[in-house]
Structure 1
Amino acid sequence: MIKLEGITKSFGSLQVLKGIDLEIDKGEIVSIVGPSGAGKTTLLQIMGTLDAPDSGCVLIDDTNVSRMKQKALSAFRNSHIGFVFQFHQLLPEFTAIENVMIPAFIAGMSSSEATKRAAEILDFMKLKERASHKPNELSGGEKQRVAVARALINNPAVILADEPSGSLDTHNKEELHQLFFDLRNQFGQTFVIVTHDEALAQLTDRTIHMLDGVIQ
């Protein structure tokens, strides 16, 4: 599903990633843990094609994304990868269902098809009654579930999450963590989650420990 070979990345004189080799299987839920500055988020961004490595290659679904031109890469990212961030990044002027539909419109999905799919996902997330609410009318847990629904709209092969439960209270954290496993079981997605949450890391199929730009 995901294969990283010899990934290095520097910012100025600071080498953040020092030759990362990593394979993640289809349907796996993998957590990446380590102290701040270990390179976790940089690795996730490279895995998600949001940033390019200085050397090495990234393969997703047997496609070498490291060789793709920017326009093709953007289209691949939109259709194959979903993102969930610590702070939901919902657009405040749009309702929950409109926020979920945005990636579908970018992919060229019709309005009727996008509306139908977004409604189905929000129903699965137990957010059917909140679909017409704007972000400021939703709780923190609801906003993060809307963000997960947005990541799912194009049925991506992999979901990349960066501290997805970092801004949530204990109850909402537990609900979100369970949701990842429910989604994997229902839709077969692969999840890669950068987290400081030990409880979440212990639940995942595999935990990858990073320190000073290398996998331990």
Structure 2
Amino acid sequence: MVEGVKINKSFGDLRVLKDIDVTIGEGEIVSILGASGAGKTTLLQILGSLDRPDSGEILIKGNPIHKMSESALARFRNKNIGFVFQFHQLLPEFTALENCMLPALIGGVNKVDAIKKAKELLGFLSLSDRLEHKPSELSGGEKQRVAVARALINNPLVIFADEPSGNLDSKNQEELMSLFISLRDRFHQTFVIVTHDQHLASRSDRTIMMRDGSIIS
């Protein structure tokens, strides 16, 4: 599903990623672990098309995204990639329903169909009674579930999650990982998750350990 070949990335004189080779299989839940500064988030951003490598190849379902123009990459990203971030990144002036349906509208889905799909996803995530609530009216766990629904709205090939449980208590952390597993089992989603949490990583199908810009196991 996702393949990175000889990925290198530097910021100034700091070499952040060093000849990274990585493959994520379709339907896998893979966690990326490592100390702060290991290069985890940089790798996630490059694999997810939010940043470009200095050298190397990135393929998603065989599509060489490292060769795409910015406009072509934006279209591919909208239709094929979902993101879940630590701080939710929900728009505060929009309701849960509006936040969820926004990527579908950007992708050209008509409003009626976008609303229907958003309601289905939010219902599946036990948020049917929170559709008209704005982020300030939601708990941390609810906001993260809205972010997950938003990531799923366009039926992406793969979902990249950067410390998705970082601001959640232990109960909500467990529920979030259980949610990822149930989504994979039901919708055959592929998940790539950056986390510091060894316990959550242990529930993944596979763990990638990074140190100083390299994969060590």
Q: TM-score range by the shorter chain?
A: over 0.9
The normalised TM-score by structure 1 is: 0.99
Q: Which amino acid aligns with 2:117?
A: R
Corresponding residue for residue 86 of structure 1: 86
Q: Name the amino acid aligned to 1:25.
A: G
Distance in 2 between residues matched to 1:210 and 1:23, nearest whole Å: 14
CA distance in 2, matches of 1:2, 1:168: 28
Counterpart-to-counterpart distance in 2, 1:17 and 1:115: 40
Letter in 1 for 2:190: T
Structure 1 position 6, deviation (Å): 0.3
Partners of 1:171 and 1:23 in 2: CA distance: 31
* 1:62 paired residue number: 62
SS at match of 2:59: strand
1:102-181 equivalence runs, <5 A: 102-181=102-181
> Post-superposition shift, 1:48?
0.6
Stretches of 4+ moved more than 3 A in 1? none
Provide the C-alpha distance between the structure 2 equivalents of 1:180 and 1:16, rounded to a whole number of angstroms: 28
Name the counterpart of 2:33. 33
Matches of 1:6 and 1:208 in 2, distance apart? Answer: 16
TM-score normalised by structure 2 residue count? 0.99
Q: What amino acid is aligned across from residue 109 of structure 2 in structure 1?
A: M
Equivalents in 2 of 1:138, 1:117: separation in Å?
21
**Rounded Cα–Cα distance in structure 2 between residues aligned with 1:34 and 1:127:** 33
Partner of 1:215: 215
CA distance in 2, matches of 1:6, 1:174: 34
Q: Distance in 1 between matches of 2:77 and 2:47?
A: 10
Equivalence for 1:74: 74
Offset at 1:127?
0.3
Shift of 1:149: 0.3
Which residue of structure 2 lines up, in the alignment, with residue 187 of structure 1? 187
Match of 1:202 in 2: 202
Q: Given residue 169 of structure 1, which amino acid in structure 2 is its aligned partner?
A: D
Q: Does 1:4 align with 2:4?
A: yes
**Structure 1 residue matching 2:129: 3-state secondary structure:** helix
Distance 2:159 2:130 in 1: 23
1:201 counterpart SS class: helix
Cα offset for 1:78?
Answer: 0.5
| Secondary structure class of the residue paired with 1:16 | strand
* SS of the residue 1:88 aligns to: coil
The alignment yields a C-alpha RMSD, in angstroms, of 0.4
Measure, in 1, the Cα distance between the counterparts of 2:66 and 2:135: 35
CA distance in 2: counterparts of 1:31 and 1:103, whole angstroms: 25
Separation in 2 of the partners of 1:215 and 1:127?
38
Partner of 2:51: 51
Q: Deviation of residue 176 (structure 1)?
A: 0.6
Distance in structure 1 (CA, Å) of the matches to 2:175 and 2:215: 29
Secondary structure of the residue that 2:30 maps to in structure 1? strand
Counterpart Cα distance in 1 of 2:122 and 2:18:
40
Matching residue of 2:17: 17
